[in-house]
A and B are shown apart, each in its own frame.
Chain A
Amino acid sequence: MPIYTVFIINRSGGLIYSAQFQGSQVHPLNECLRLASTLHSVQQISRQVSPVDILDDIGLTSLEAKTFRLRLYQPLTGIQFVAIATPEVTDEILLGILRRLHLLYADYALKNPFYVQDMPIRCKLFDIHFMKLMKPYIANPVE
């Protein structure tokens, strides 16, 4: 039950972290950037089309297709954590992973004085702990 792709998208829709794993079609970076910003917009729109009061709805959280499941986790700060996996990976598992990813972000990105908020995450320790977190869910990392 592999995970294909993980994205972290900042509050303005910019892709600040991405990982693609074997088994999936690998998209070039500029395509990922477009994908991320589109996903971000769709998420925003999904809040606005909500029939109930906007405060009560956090908008799009998951998306199911024949060949994949997409789970999105957005804490109140507006940052988005996205995972795309095979459909048999349950929502709960993906949400659990994304919450732990949020914690990694809070620790290894935000507590690093050399990381600038909203910018791409280039922190060695973040990468290491990210791979440790993903290890049970992937075949072989592409990058």
Chain B
Amino acid sequence: MFEPSGERASTSQSGRSSSATSVKTQDTLPSAGFNVAALAKIGEQAFQRGELVSAELVALTYGALVRQLFLDYQAPEDVNEELERIGYNIGLRLVDDFLARSAAPPCRSFQATAEIVARVAFRMYLGVSARPANFAADNTAYSILFDTNPLAEFVEVPDAVANTLWYSNIFCGVIRGALEMVQFSVRASFTRDMLRGDECNEIRVCLLRELEETVPLDKET
């Protein structure tokens, strides 16, 4: 049921060289040279083709995990940190799933990751739309905006922690872990959250450094 089709295999192979050349330009094209509609379609197709599970079950499982972290850590700051760490571990592993299951063109520039994460990954894994925005002038930061957050579907954050807890902080970790695996060391953090009454959810992704592609990633170096 998960077998990649032959035609998909060739898409991503041939897409490699063409898109890689176009995204290297430093002009701040918000789409980083990608066809936005095509990306959305890739994400939607990967979502439809994938095996699906009730998003509510995911939300309830995540909620139970957050509750568990509160019991274990108490301080909301620590819970934020632990959620980010858990997300990071997921991101490190999710990225291979993404590369194997989606026909997304490769991210050869930091800018390109914004498009891929927002338009393909969010759609493919959560069935929701997200969009990249607020690119920094020097291309070292961007935001991912989304209006529907499946994880926070049923949540009411208690007043006591409403201004300290980032309930969906796991997203930040997932983005950091996944991008690190494709050579971008980043820091991601929530800047707006609809659970706090903001009009949309915003995750700010800042590039710390690009890891050297040809040198094997090693924890010691």
Between A76, A96, A99, A100, the greatest number of chain B beta carbons within 10 A of the residue's beta carbon is seen for A76
Q: Is B156 an interface residue (CB 8 A)?
A: no
Which of chain B's residues has its CB closest to A79's CB?
Answer: B96
CB distance from A10 to the nearest CB of B (A): 8
Size bracket, chain A contacts:
20 to 34
A100 and B217: CB pair below 8 A? no
Q: Is B60 an interface residue (CB 8 A)?
A: no
Which of chain A's residues has its CB closest to B3's CB?
Answer: A100
Which of chain B's residues has its CB closest to A133's CB?
Answer: B3
Q: Is B67 an interface residue (CB 8 A)?
A: no
Q: Which of A19-27, A64-72, A82-90, A102-110 contacts B (4 or more CB under 8 A)?
A: A102-110
Q: With A and B bound together, what is the CA distance between A92 and B6 in angstroms?
A: 9
Q: With A and B bound together, what is the CA distance between A95 and B10 in angstroms?
A: 10
Chain B residues contacting A12 (CB-CB under 8 Å) are 216-218
Interface size on B, residues (CB 8 A): 29
CB distance from B213 to the nearest CB of A (A): 7
Q: With A and B bound together, what is the CA distance between A75 and B95 in angstroms?
A: 10
B95 and A95: CB pair below 8 A? no
A76 and B218: CB pair below 8 A? no
Q: With A and B bound together, what is the CA distance between A100 and B4 in angstroms?
A: 7
Q: Is A56 an interface residue (CB 8 A)?
A: yes
A102 and B9: CB pair below 8 A? no
From known contacts A76-B106, A103-B100, A111-B93, infer whether A56 and B216 are also in contact, taking CB-CB under 8 Å: no
A56: which of B9, B21, B182 is its contact (CB, 8 Å)?
B21
Q: Is A34 an interface residue (CB 8 A)?
A: no
Which of chain A's residues has its CB closest to B95's CB?
Answer: A77
Chain A residues contacting B6 (CB-CB under 8 Å) are 92, 96
From known contacts A55-B24, A110-B97, infer whether A103 and B216 are also in contact, taking CB-CB under 8 Å: no
A75: which of B3, B17, B21, B100 is its contact (CB, 8 Å)?
B100
Contact flags (1/0) for B71-112 with A, using CB distance below 8 Å?
A: 000000000000000000000110111011100001110000
From known contacts A56-B17, A103-B4, infer whether A11 and B9 are also in contact, taking CB-CB under 8 Å: no
A106 and B106: CB pair below 8 A? no
Chain A residues contacting B9 (CB-CB under 8 Å) are 95-96, 99
Q: With A and B bound together, what is the CA distance between A11 and B6 in angstroms?
A: 26
From known contacts A12-B216, A44-B214, A55-B20, infer whether A99 and B4 are also in contact, taking CB-CB under 8 Å: yes
B214 and A54: CB pair below 8 A? yes
A110 and B216: CB pair below 8 A? no
B20: which of A56, A102, A106 is its contact (CB, 8 Å)?
A56
Q: List 14 A-B contacts (CB under 8 A).
A: A12-B216, A44-B214, A55-B213, A76-B95, A76-B181, A76-B183, A78-B217, A96-B6, A96-B9, A103-B4, A105-B96, A106-B96, A106-B99, A107-B2
Q: Which residues of B contact A (CB under 8 A)?
A: 2-4, 6, 9, 16-17, 20-21, 24, 92-93, 95-97, 99-101, 106-108, 181-183, 213-214, 216-218
